């Protein structure tokens, strides 16, 4: 796989849930061929090592026992807290679950000129307001960037960090940044709808995520997207002591043998503590396509310090 092809393949899942995938192909032919937008507003690859120990078992919970772990679920750009609806019920027996919704998304009011840093600050306020202690943070796409930013800024306040199709740096070139800006100005709705149509091989999921994206407050969407262009936390990863799990979809990690190369190329080579789990036969929205399996992985890593995942 050429470096150019690899980069274009990764861009859809790395930033803004696919908005930089200028030349990427859909996940499969089952995806929507044409999205109907609303009226526009103004080293060589190597195989990752096999696990060296058996997976740890979850501690059993007795009936009526209160959950002893807390988890905060963070959606991505153009999403909403509701995208966790199918996952949360499987987590409640083990975790006290909270959902953090980005400003200008879903039912949350927008704020002026939001950035990844300001959303990380809002996340801090949310955690403190709800009395959440040492939670496991789960972030999807841009929500993963926000979760990572928070974990680096508050390392003693995070128990586990789980990132879904998210990376510690962005990969857009100067030319691509300018091209995206131009397209956003020319036809915002069409740009958003066409990119989100590439995110899932499932027609129903595609329709839902396009609808969520187009309902997102447009200035908020653009502001967060633009802030992600300067996002790069790779220089701080070596100091992060929080155990971290990276979950990758088949869209982002199309071949298991390329796992290490892709993780390195998107900035994880300096991570101090990292586990990896790949979901095959899925697009970017794993929580909508494989909610039960995703919940089981979140539970396993969220309560066990020594759980080992196969790549």
Cα dist from 72 to 126, 161, 254, whole Å: 10, 10, 28
> Average per-residue pLDDT in the chain?
81
* Type and span of the H or E element at 264: helix 259-265
Categorize the per-residue pLDDT at 37 as very low, low, confident or very high, splitting at 50, 70 and 90.
very low
Percentage with pLDDT > 70 across the chain = 76
Residue bearing the bigger pLDDT, 302 or 145: 145
Domain 3-19+66-303 has CATH 3.40.50.1820: yes
d(CA 175, CA 171): 12
pTM: 0.81
Q: 172: pLDDT confidence band, cut at 50, 70 and 90? A: confident
For residue 2, is pLDDT > 60?
no
Residue 215 pLDDT grade (very low, low, confident, very high; cuts 50, 70, 90)? very high
The confidence band for 98, taking pLDDT boundaries of 50, 70 and 90, is: very high
**pLDDT tens sequence across 295-304:** 999 999 988 7
- Sorted by where each begins, the domain ranges of the chain are 3-19+66-303
Distance of CA 30 to the CA centre of its chain: 23
Query: How much is the pLDDT for 12?
Result: 39
Q: 189 with 37: CB under 8 angstroms? A: yes
pLDDT in tens, 119-137: 999 999 999 999 999 999 9
Q: What's the pLDDT at 47?
A: 37
Handedness of CA 258, 265, 166, 13 (dihedral sign): negative
Q: What is the pLDDT of residue 247?
A: 97
């Amino acid at each position: 796989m050429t470096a150019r092809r690899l980069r274009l393949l990764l861009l859809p899942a790395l930033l803004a849930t696919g908005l930089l995938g200028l030349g990427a192909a859909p996940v499969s032919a089952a995806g929507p061929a044409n999205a109907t937008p609303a009226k526009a507003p103004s080293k060589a690859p190597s195989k990752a090592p096999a696990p060296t120990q058996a997976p740890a078992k979850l501690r059993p919970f007795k009936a009526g026992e209160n959950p002893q772990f807390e988890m905060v679920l963070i959606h991505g750009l153009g999403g909403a807290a509701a995208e966790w609806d199918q996952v949360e019920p499987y987590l409640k027996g083990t975790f006290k679950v909270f959902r953090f919704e980005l400003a200008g998304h879903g039912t949350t009011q927008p704020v002026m000129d939001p950035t990844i840093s300001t959303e990380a600050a809002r996340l801090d306020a949310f955690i403190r307001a709800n009395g959440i202690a040492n939670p496991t943070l789960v972030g999807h796409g841009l929500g993963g960037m926000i979760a990572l930013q928070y974990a680096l800024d508050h390392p003693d306040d995070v128990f586990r960090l789980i990132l879904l199709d998210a990376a510690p740096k962005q990969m857009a070139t100067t030319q691509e940044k300018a091209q995206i800006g131009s397209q956003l100005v020319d036809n915002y709705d069409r740009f958003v709808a066409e990119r989100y149509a590439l995110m899932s091989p499932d027609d129903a999921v595609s329709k839902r995520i396009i609808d969520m994206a187009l309902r997102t407050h447009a200035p908020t969407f653009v502001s967060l997207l633009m802030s992600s262009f300067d996002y790069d936390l790779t220089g701080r990863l070596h100091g992060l002591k929080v155990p971290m799990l990276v979950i990758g979809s088949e869209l982002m990690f199309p071949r298991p043998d390329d796992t290490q190369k892709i993780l390195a190329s998107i900035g994880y080579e300096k991570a101090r503590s990292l586990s990896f789990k790949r979901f095959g036969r899925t697009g970017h929205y794993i929580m909508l396509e494989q909610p039960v399996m995703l919940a089981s992985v979140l539970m396993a890593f969220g309560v066990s310090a020594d759980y080992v995942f196969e790549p």
